[in-house]
Structure 1
Amino acid sequence: MDTLRGMRTFVRAVELGSLSAAARELRTTQPTASKQVAALERELGVRLLQRSTTHLAPTEQGRRFYERARRVLEEYGEAVDDARGLSQTPAGVLRVAASVSLGVLHLNRLAQMFLARYPQVEIELILNDRYIDLVEEGMDVALRLGASLPPNLVARRVAASPRGLVASPDYLRAHPPLREPGDVAAHNYLRYAGASEELELTGPDGTRVRLAADGRYRINNSLAIRESFALGAGIGLAPAWLVQDLIDAGRLSWVLPQWRAASHDAYVVYPARRHLPARTRAFVDFLAQEVPELPGFEAVPENV
């Protein structure tokens, strides 16, 4: 059998969640794709996929084989490109992950810019607020904000986004003035559901204060929090990347602008591999250049 072809079909079936989708992408038929995976299973002597009429998922052996098979296919693709003199030309499918809010507001636009620059690259942009394992889920690159990073990943810090209190002008006109941090207690505070009920701010002289940060409304999505601020539902803490365009448009204002919370650090994250495909290297460098230029982000002293 053609082992490489079977591996490629299996890998894409796992990534796309469907043999039919893998067959369409690889320009073959679903029965042919199924036969290729079945032949691969016979050759290996293990079952790789659990199939039903509505669901496909790798077995434990399949999940472990997928991780290695994907790397083998990448190495093979690089070897072919090198032999053809194309190793420096970004090409192929790039799978990118980010949170929903960051993806919708910023990364989607950057992905379009990258595609225009590199016509041989395809991008699958996966937006999910759930923390995902890049290696297990077959992702090439992620743009993450201040999250703890596992040891099997490389993280390159590319930008920072200040955080402070925001509210709409209409809300501020209709409620008691905010002159110092303690005044926050008299206001409806909007926060991310599950986040700490305590707010820590640092003043211009380095003074730190801790405040109770709770209100009648908690939300588990940053885009919904952003909209609630604009609707005048309350005040709350926001990173500049989430609200800078609304502030520039006059729909939101910084509250107590001399008092800030810890910034959001932006990291470009990718699996630790000896050789990165040209498309991955190019995208990592592209994000390192473009993210600091986005509204609400600032350059950091060193891109590490």
Structure 2
Amino acid sequence: MDTLKALHSFVRAVELGSLSAVARESGTSQPTVSKTMAALERQVGAQLLIRSTTRVQPTEQGRRFYEHARQTLESYAEGVSEARGETEQVRGRLRISAPVSLGVLRLNALLLEFMQRHPDVEVELLLNDRFVDLAEEGIDLALRLGGELPDQLIARPLARSPRYLVASPTWISRQATLGSPADLPLCDYLRFAWLDAGQKLLLSHADGRELNLATRSRYTVNSSLAIRESYCLGAGFGLTPAWLVADLLADGTLQRLLPDWHGPTQEASLLYPSRRFLPARTRALIDFLIERLPRLPGFEAL
């Protein structure tokens, strides 16, 4: 058995979730890939994959073995590159994790620009609002917004985004008066369902005053994109990071409420494994995002 080839097939099987997909990618047959996986499991002495009629997924041992296999393949590729004098070439595959809304509205375009700059780089962008385990899921780089950052990873702050109270002109026109936070109809507060602060609305004034309002949200949703659309539909108001609505504020679709009041700033950070050496492609993307992300609408440099 060609062990390196088997490791590569196993890694791609975990990432693609299908032996047939691995076969198509490598130009071979599904039975051949299946036999290779069976031989690898015999060599390792453990079941690595759970097979169904349509998909495969790693066992607990398989998830742990995946990270070792992936690092082995990366080390081998870097060793080959070094032997060929190609260590500093920006090439290879990157797996990137990011929140859904940020990925759709902002990061997607940046990554396509990065790929134009570096035609030998392949990118797999995985959008998910949960904090993923980089090692377990084979992620090279994660972009996170707010929250506590894991101690075992390197966290590189990128930018910050102020939080504004916003609503549509239609919703605003239905309100009798909006001169202070006390005038806000708190049952119309649109809230992200997983927000750490729960039903609390923390506001700060330009003069240093702070308020912590108990809201009575009738509508909560676990998608920032859905909240963004709900603002536009006049369903209510919310406290939102500027990057999520910068374009809508610029064209008048949304307006700021009580502009002297704002919420806690949201910080964007890059997370990557605590390894001494990073591939050139990862370093290049980190440098690119450090340069470009703070310049996006709704973000500010730290």
- 1:60-79 equivalences under 5 Å are 60-79=60-79
Partner of 1:44: 44
Q: CA deviation at 1:228?
A: 0.9
Q: CA deviation at 1:186?
A: 6.1
* Structure 1 residues 96-153: Cα deviation after superposition (integer angstroms, max 9, x where no partner): 1111111110011011101100000111111112332111111111111012222221
Aligned equivalent of 2:245, options 243, 259, 266: 243
Partner of 1:288: 290
Please state whether the residue corresponding to 1:257 is helix, strand or coil. coil
* CA–CA separation in structure 2 for the residues paired with 1:149 and 1:186: 31
Question: What is the TM-score when the length of structure 2 is the normalising length?
Answer: 0.95
* CA–CA separation in structure 2 for the residues paired with 1:65 and 1:22: 18
Partner of 1:181: 181
8 Å CA contact 1:49–1:58 kept in 2: the answer is yes
* CA–CA separation in structure 1 for the residues paired with 2:72 and 2:223: 38
* CA–CA separation in structure 1 for the residues paired with 2:187 and 2:39: 65
Partner of 1:209: 211
Question: What is the TM-score when the length of structure 1 is the normalising length?
Answer: 0.95
Q: Does 1:3 align with 2:14?
A: no
8 Å CA contact 1:12–1:22 kept in 2: the answer is yes
Residue identity opposite 1:161 in structure 2: S
* CA–CA separation in structure 2 for the residues paired with 1:179 and 1:270: 45
8 Å CA contact 1:163–1:238 kept in 2: the answer is yes
* CA–CA separation in structure 2 for the residues paired with 1:27 and 1:91: 22
Q: Does 1:32 align with 2:35?
A: no
* CA–CA separation in structure 2 for the residues paired with 1:24 and 1:186: 54
Please state whether the residue corresponding to 2:300 is helix, strand or coil. coil
* Structure 1 residues 64-114: Cα deviation after superposition (integer angstroms, max 9, x where no partner): 111111111111111111111211111111111111111110011011101
Aligned equivalent of 1:265, options 259, 267, 270: 267
8 Å CA contact 1:176–1:186 kept in 2: the answer is no
Change (3 A) 1:232 1:11: same
* CA–CA separation in structure 1 for the residues paired with 2:267 and 2:180: 26
* CA–CA separation in structure 2 for the residues paired with 1:18 and 1:186: 48
* CA–CA separation in structure 2 for the residues paired with 1:22 and 1:154: 32
* Structure 1 residues 152-211: Cα deviation after superposition (integer angstroms, max 9, x where no partner): 211100000000210112211221221112111466211112431111111112111111
Partner of 1:222: 224
* CA–CA separation in structure 1 for the residues paired with 2:8 and 2:157: 33
* CA–CA separation in structure 1 for the residues paired with 2:158 and 2:265: 13
Compute the RMSD of aligned alpha carbons.
1.4
8 Å CA contact 1:200–1:210 kept in 2: the answer is yes
* Structure 1 residues 11-36: Cα deviation after superposition (integer angstroms, max 9, x where no partner): 11111111111222233322222222
8 Å CA contact 2:19–2:55 kept in 1: the answer is no
Aligned residues: 300
Aligned equivalent of 1:275, options 274, 277, 287: 277
Partner of 1:232: 234
Residue identity opposite 1:200 in structure 2: L
Tell me which stretches of 4 or more aligned residues in structure 1 moved more than 6 Å. none
Question: How high is the sequence identity, in percent, across the aligned residues?
Answer: 56
* CA–CA separation in structure 2 for the residues paired with 1:27 and 1:163: 50
Please state whether the residue corresponding to 1:156 is helix, strand or coil. strand
* CA–CA separation in structure 1 for the residues paired with 2:186 and 2:142: 39
* CA–CA separation in structure 2 for the residues paired with 1:52 and 1:260: 51
8 Å CA contact 1:185–1:212 kept in 2: the answer is no
Unaligned runs of 5+ in 2: none
Residue identity opposite 1:167 in structure 2: A
Please state whether the residue corresponding to 1:218 is helix, strand or coil. strand
Please state whether the residue corresponding to 1:136 is helix, strand or coil. helix
